[in-house]
Structure 1
Amino acid sequence: MSALRKMLNLPPKESQGGEGTSTVPADAAVSAPTPTPTPAGTGEGATLVRTPPVLGWAEEEESAGRSAMRKVGRVAIWLVIGLAAFTGVRTWIFPAKPQAPVQQTDPLAAARKNNVPEAEAQQVAARFARSYMNWNSQTPELRAGELEADLAQGLDPKMGWDGSGVQMVAQTIAGTVTQVGGKRARVLVDVRVSTVTGGGKNQRTVSTWRGLEVPVAQGYGRVVVTGEPAIVGMPTAAHYNAPDGPEADTQMSGQTRGTVKEFLSSWASGSQDQAAAPGADIHPLGGGMEFDALDSWVVDAGSGAKRTGTATVRWKLGGGQLQQTYRITLTKVSASSASRWQVEAVTSKTA
């Protein structure tokens, strides 16, 4: 505490009563008169009382460096005290506001508000495309009535048709919805159409796919067609490099070929549960199919109680033959001391 008292220019602390030490520096000049006994009372038997000496303080000259350090320390202490007082008062008057939670914003949210609902747009466009591409000169009013159900009010239901000819629609498939903003969009619809050409013995029906792009918009309460659709081109074939197939296990393929052939025959006849492994979930093929031949069966190299292979099969249906490729999974079923391979799953092949 002596250093702090010097920095604050305070006098040294006085010694406590009863202490035997003095705070007077050793080199201080002390002048004290010789105590003179003072009689305490008169007469015979009076005692003499000694008056304690009076001690004086001698000033010690302080060096310039020490005085400067004391002043700097005093200023620093008062600065800290002032800063603490200022910040405390400021927080009382202007308390810190809690930080606002950061809201996650979706930059595409505003754009989506102006989109047409895709599911409804596809439904309306597919229905409209069926009516639009289906006509018969004998009953032109049927086509117009169906188109009016999905057209915006005020549009001509003939939609460019001259009223002649015959064309039939077998199927429509709604595809890509292109949003153009302002609650408007274009829907691509694939349409399977059939036309009759020739007459008499030369008459024949020709079927083909057409691409139709239908303009739609979000109206009052529902999606409507806003104008004439346009026939567009269909996608062409794209090139694809199939990955290399797995190595074959020739021995396993020969051992299980009979098992696979027996299952395929049972599958075609509707009794696949008898040839499949216990717990297998293989749905029946349905009537009108007959197993013709197992052209190839190759098991992938591997080990374990489950093995998978590729089967090339020929079916008889519709008066002809259809060759197909399957991925068939076998599992080893054990009973008592015997075990055998059975079919557990059948799927299409993915190249």
Structure 2
Amino acid sequence: MPLGPTTRRILGLPEAGEWEQKKARAKAKKNKTAIPPQQPATVNPWEAAAAQLKAEQAAPASAPALLEPTPRESTPWTTVEERSGSAFARRIGRGILWALVVLLVLVGAKSLLLPKKAPAPIAAPNTGQGAPDYPTAEAQVTAGRFVRAYLAWDEKDPAARAAQLAAVLPEGADTSVGWSGKGRQDVLAVEPGAVTPATQQQARVRVLALIRPAVETPAPAPGGGQPAPSQSAPASSPAEPSAYWIGVDVPVVQAGGRVIVSGQPGIVGVPAKGPKAPELKGPEGDSAFAQHTSDTVARFFKAFAGGDTESVTAPGISLPPLPAGITLTGVTSWTADKGSGSDRSGTARVSWQIGGAQLEQTYRVRLTRVASADAERWQVAGVTGSTA
């Protein structure tokens, strides 16, 4: 696209055709030749002849008959002084134009060489509901310690309960925490559960506790009569179990870099039975392979309880045996999963003799095929409890 006069003036470029005229003038000056002036478009021959005759009559006798025109030198290039303001404006415009060109080149190179960074994710405001940074593990430990001390009391030693509670309560709190100071009760087990964060660094911890009220044997009455009932024995009916589970909701708060109990807890009920289990589809069985490997599985579980598993496991596999006091009653069932290859799996139900009783359990067994120069056999490569 041809450049306009304004653009040529800003960039300092000559006008169209001006360069060719400059070259022609420079060549004529070098050869010392004059550029003939342009003749008028139309010349009257009678006027020209009259002018020539008059010139011949006026010339002296010694002058030549014909006078050649004197060559007139012409200036091929004329320097025109330019105003300082226009020159400065042209330089400024030219600098701005080149600066824009360089800037566009740099921006394009940066977009090609440097990949765009992904914007940093905006953190959601902390509303206190389900805050992920709440010290859940510490809250469970604090609530478990509190429940173990809170539900265990002995009227003969109230200071022991108070000292244990003081370690998880705020400074200056009442260490009796609602206890009347009477009776005796033991805590057999404590299981901290779900932690539900709330506002102001607070949370609620569900704790399950296995408790057993202590029943003291009444002392015999003087004179051999019937023994008097103990004042500290709880008034429980014979139908109630000696030990049972209860739930406790414990309020905790984060303060001073620790989690402490912030108030009195509340005892809640524990479900008597679990929800209905979903229907789980088991793997398809392979009866032929199960029959072929049933003796291998039976020998393994016998060695598993006897303390020697190296002879029935695959090379390089080490399975620790069961502790003493557990004997094998028998493999109740063995079901192999349908499949192929050198690694197969299946499910075994095994009956053990432990603590004077029989106990049936379920195992997942993994078998691998071991081959030698003249024979091959299946051996156990792994065993885990349950079917999952």
Out of 302, 311, 328, the position equivalent to 2:365 is 328
d(CA) in 1 for partners of 2:368 and 2:276? 36
Work out whether residues 307 and 329 of structure 1, in 8 Å CA contact, stay in contact via their aligned partners in 2.
yes
Out of 201, 210, 216, the position equivalent to 1:192 is 210
Work out whether residues 197 and 203 of structure 2, in 8 Å CA contact, stay in contact via their aligned partners in 1.
yes
1:107 corresponding residue in structure 2: 124
Distance 1:141 1:3, change over 3 A: closer
TM-score (norm 1): 0.73
d(CA) in 2 for partners of 1:140 and 1:49? 150
- What are the superposed Cα offsets for residues 168-197 of structure 1, whole Å, 9 maximum, x if unpaired? 111112221111121221111111212345
Q: 1:109-258 alignment to 2 at 5 Å?
A: 111=128, 116-196=134-214, 206-235=242-271, 236-258=273-295
| TM-superposed deviation, 1:141 | 2.2
| TM-superposed deviation, 1:333 | 0.8
Work out whether residues 146 and 168 of structure 2, in 8 Å CA contact, stay in contact via their aligned partners in 1.
yes
Work out whether residues 144 and 158 of structure 1, in 8 Å CA contact, stay in contact via their aligned partners in 2.
yes
d(CA) in 1 for partners of 2:344 and 2:291? 13
- What are the superposed Cα offsets for residues 105-131 of structure 1, whole Å, 9 maximum, x if unpaired? 311557588965222221111111101
Out of 306, 314, 331, the position equivalent to 1:277 is 314
Q: Which amino acid aligns with 2:248?
A: L
Q: Which amino acid aligns with 1:318?
A: G
- What are the superposed Cα offsets for residues 84-122 of structure 1, whole Å, 9 maximum, x if unpaired? 959969x99xxx9xx999543311557588965222221
Distance 1:168 1:87, change over 3 A: farther
d(CA) in 2 for partners of 1:300 and 1:254? 12
Larger strand percent: 1
SS in 1 for 2:371: strand
Distance 1:166 1:259, change over 3 A: same
d(CA) in 2 for partners of 1:3 and 1:169? 98
Structure 2: runs of 5+ lacking an equivalent? 10-14, 73-91, 108-115, 219-237
d(CA) in 2 for partners of 1:304 and 1:162? 70
Distance 1:173 1:83, change over 3 A: farther
Out of 319, 336, 341, the position equivalent to 1:299 is 336
d(CA) in 2 for partners of 1:83 and 1:208? 94
Work out whether residues 196 and 203 of structure 1, in 8 Å CA contact, stay in contact via their aligned partners in 2.
no
| TM-superposed deviation, 1:239 | 2.1
Of 151-160 and 99-108, the range deviating more from structure 2: 99-108
d(CA) in 1 for partners of 2:94 and 2:69? 53
Distance 1:44 1:139, change over 3 A: same
Work out whether residues 115 and 182 of structure 1, in 8 Å CA contact, stay in contact via their aligned partners in 2.
no
d(CA) in 2 for partners of 1:195 and 1:289? 33
State whether structure 2 residue 369 is matched by structure 1 residue 337.
Answer: no
d(CA) in 2 for partners of 1:133 and 1:305? 56
Work out whether residues 369 and 379 of structure 2, in 8 Å CA contact, stay in contact via their aligned partners in 1.
yes
d(CA) in 2 for partners of 1:324 and 1:153? 50
Distance 1:154 1:115, change over 3 A: farther
SS in 1 for 2:206: strand
| TM-superposed deviation, 1:304 | 0.5
Percent identity, aligned pairs only, is 33
1:349 corresponding residue in structure 2: 386
**Would you say how many aligned residue pairs link Structure 1 and Structure 2?**
313
Distance 1:331 1:11, change over 3 A: closer
| TM-superposed deviation, 1:321 | 0.8
d(CA) in 2 for partners of 1:134 and 1:287? 35
